[in-house]
Structure 1
């Protein structure tokens, strides 16, 4: 098996850029982060492959400027697997494509049963990929040769996979809708930062009291600040479950916090003063957080039958109709239409539920043209049927 070197010096980088620029066809791109180990989501390894050029493994922390590489590859189609996972960290170092081909998304649109890279490669190319290093700490230096070989394989086969998927997309008349989906991924706006990011604590919905929530908030803020300072994944310092245990127990002294068995984690005792100070801030806080946070989303569908029977009927029939279209197109229903879009249209329907009105509503929510074309009419028909069924039920009862 080939020996791989990580490109870190200016001379190696310049040579790699020239070779990639002289290659042919699309360029396969992948990135490895250190999720679960580091606070940041930066790329610690960037892999590229292009026919007639070869495979290149770049060390982003050692390369201050990727602009030369960006100029060489930006006009070329980039092939990525699950592009939405890598685009942010690639853009962070100045690598931003003009157009992409997402092999995972294409596999979903084709209705392939498993869409992980190893599964797609095996089905299309008959080659088995080992995935033992997918959750490794890629900030490790030096990177072991076995990891580099794994990383190289992630891109060396991507262009071949892309070509097989293009053939299938053409045969199934899905090439145009795939392009629309790729464009949507490429131009999707990043989510705005959450107003209260501490509410992302796993299990926070089980914390009821405002004072308890204030303690959870202060502990999360203290942990997040320290994790960012050390560039360590927050959960490796103090797990979410430990923060929630403290928030529920509300210890009244530093000793009580130290004695709480559920307060675990690598830094739970080594930085006990930091955590106790956060608990004190929560216990003394006057700006208590709300127990329930208002949002603009419809309520959970399980509550619709009681709160809005008309919307419940619309959603049930429309979901069935959309599922039938997805089955006919041989793709997951969530790729045919984002479930939240359907829920919103069912909860807040147009005044006249015509196909055109439904189409306009879906478009405003961000549905792509092919999705609108495939679903607007069946949703409109389902809404009409739902209204009729409710009327029949009322007349039957009377």
Structure 2
């Protein structure tokens, strides 16, 4: 595959004289030809207060990369959610209504900039040159592994490689029921990139066994680890570039933003929300999937250097070690309570109707392997629950959606089951909480506890601001409230024990325990 743009060449800085012909791009011929299969995701692009890394010029490309070639892959360190997205298209039967795209505001006319402003802009542009588009993998797009013999060849190649293993997975969030992987991308120095189809190869444990002593590199690991575990891939050590960037204080931590910040390349994300269960996967999707792991090794090295420079590397290594045990979020009690608009149902009987409709929709979605929201959106469930129809005619007056007519027997049966429930079997309006009351009620319920919380939060926020790290990464808000509402004592060691029982890591306890103990002593 030829490059549309050379993604690995370093542009001549503005004002600099060219020194001669650029070195040729160092590429290896693709050993596997393109096939037709393809990708989905990226870390959540959330924000935090920008730190030194966020404000520093993009120098890693110029300092670390030789012209025309990527740097050598770094060796493994000495130690250590895809949220469903709105799909691009839907079958007419299951498609839910989607809001119109927000309009693009018209640009306003501006006059010429003052010389001082223009000069500042030129200086900034020179310090931060435009990102280089990354349009094609250096080795081309590999053939997708779909059979057992090819999987064993991939395992052998990856075992013989060197350095850490870049890992990514693509799911069909918003299209299919569940969060299974539909494509797994792997890259390791000396082994190249491998795209594996978990539908054709549902057991990827040979890959896990071949790389058992190898550090994995993932971006937003909590999104991919559960679906990778389902296919037999479990890491023994890992480096999460999304979490690392968050701890380093970057204001945006999506994969494209972090690659641009540290390495100076722009990575297109136009295929992040496609239906990865599609077969065959189109070649542009496969190219996108290949590029998702193309620079993870270089990104890991740059992120690690930044964390070490800020004195945060040990924090990150503790977090990464904890992630190796992550198997997914805890199972929710009464998952139907997440139905949008449930608060509008005032009576226990009305809530029971929504519960029965939710489980009916979930059963249909599971049987057809379709995302529940594509069967019926929550708004339609709510409308049926409010109308409580008892006949097909009454049901069609609520909604004319095809899925309402197609599965009318299930919807009417759900409404009927709720109507026949004895009073003592109706769900409660809300589940009892095992934690402290909402923060807004603290001042009335326990003013001293409220004062403890105010003081501790202020100190933690100041620490977070000074060290350029999101305050929620220092300690989860829920654990902070639990300890401060009913503190086990005022001694720092006792507070440390309570934080450890709540899941706080050693580095978090070292920061939070003295702050919490002081607040408890000041407001005993």
- TM-score calculated relative to the size of structure 1: 0.93
The one of 289, 310, 313 aligned to 2:451 = 313
* Cα distance change, pair 245–308 in 1 and its aligned pair in 2 (3 A): farther
The CA distance in 1 between the partners of 2:341 and 2:212, in whole Å, is 42
Q: Which moved more, 1:110-119 or 1:199-208?
A: 199-208
Q: CA deviation at 1:64?
A: 3.8
- State whether residues 210 and 289 of structure 1, in contact with CA within 8 Å, keep that contact through their aligned partners in structure 2: yes
Secondary structure class of the residue paired with 1:267: helix
The CA distance in 2 between the partners of 1:85 and 1:78, in whole Å, is 14
1:288 aligns with 2:426: yes
- State whether residues 182 and 198 of structure 2, in contact with CA within 8 Å, keep that contact through their aligned partners in structure 1: yes
1:163 aligns with 2:301: yes
Task: Give the 5 Å matches for 1:27-42.
Answer: 27-42=165-180
Match of 1:272 in 2: 408
- State whether residues 225 and 326 of structure 2, in contact with CA within 8 Å, keep that contact through their aligned partners in structure 1: no
Match of 1:393 in 2: none
1:362 aligns with 2:499: yes
Q: CA deviation at 1:384?
A: 3.0
The CA distance in 2 between the partners of 1:109 and 1:130, in whole Å, is 24
- State whether residues 33 and 41 of structure 1, in contact with CA within 8 Å, keep that contact through their aligned partners in structure 2: yes
1:218 aligns with 2:356: yes
- State whether residues 322 and 378 of structure 1, in contact with CA within 8 Å, keep that contact through their aligned partners in structure 2: yes
1:151 aligns with 2:289: yes
Secondary structure class of the residue paired with 2:403: coil
* Cα distance change, pair 114–64 in 1 and its aligned pair in 2 (3 A): closer
- State whether residues 4 and 145 of structure 1, in contact with CA within 8 Å, keep that contact through their aligned partners in structure 2: no
The one of 203, 214, 217 aligned to 2:341 = 203
Match of 1:118 in 2: 256
Q: Structure 1 or 2: larger helix share?
A: 1
Q: CA deviation at 1:330?
A: 1.3
Secondary structure class of the residue paired with 1:298: coil
Which stretches in structure 1 are left out of the alignment for 5+ residues?
A: 388-398
Match of 1:333 in 2: 471
Q: CA deviation at 1:20?
A: 1.3
Match of 1:76 in 2: 214
1:384 aligns with 2:521: yes
Match of 2:321 in 1: 183
- State whether residues 226 and 326 of structure 2, in contact with CA within 8 Å, keep that contact through their aligned partners in structure 1: no
The CA distance in 2 between the partners of 1:372 and 1:52, in whole Å, is 41
Q: CA deviation at 1:162?
A: 0.1
1:9 aligns with 2:147: yes
The CA distance in 1 between the partners of 2:311 and 2:402, in whole Å, is 54
Q: CA deviation at 1:159?
A: 0.6
The CA distance in 2 between the partners of 1:205 and 1:73, in whole Å, is 49
Q: Which moved more, 1:196-205 or 1:336-345?
A: 196-205
1:52 aligns with 2:190: yes
The CA distance in 1 between the partners of 2:340 and 2:501, in whole Å, is 32
The CA distance in 1 between the partners of 2:177 and 2:401, in whole Å, is 16
- State whether residues 222 and 274 of structure 1, in contact with CA within 8 Å, keep that contact through their aligned partners in structure 2: yes
RMSD: 1.5
* Cα distance change, pair 312–240 in 1 and its aligned pair in 2 (3 A): same
The CA distance in 1 between the partners of 2:202 and 2:519, in whole Å, is 56
The CA distance in 2 between the partners of 1:186 and 1:374, in whole Å, is 23
- State whether residues 165 and 187 of structure 2, in contact with CA within 8 Å, keep that contact through their aligned partners in structure 1: yes
1:65 aligns with 2:203: yes
Q: Which moved more, 1:14-23 or 1:359-368?
A: 14-23
The CA distance in 2 between the partners of 1:95 and 1:159, in whole Å, is 19
Q: CA deviation at 1:358?
A: 1.6
- State whether residues 172 and 274 of structure 2, in contact with CA within 8 Å, keep that contact through their aligned partners in structure 1: yes
Q: How many residues align?
A: 384
Q: Which moved more, 1:214-223 or 1:177-186?
A: 177-186
Q: Which moved more, 1:303-312 or 1:126-135?
A: 303-312
1:101 aligns with 2:235: no
Q: CA deviation at 1:295?
A: 2.1
The CA distance in 2 between the partners of 1:250 and 1:124, in whole Å, is 56
The one of 368, 377, 382 aligned to 1:239 = 377
Which stretches in structure 2 are left out of the alignment for 5+ residues?
A: 2-139
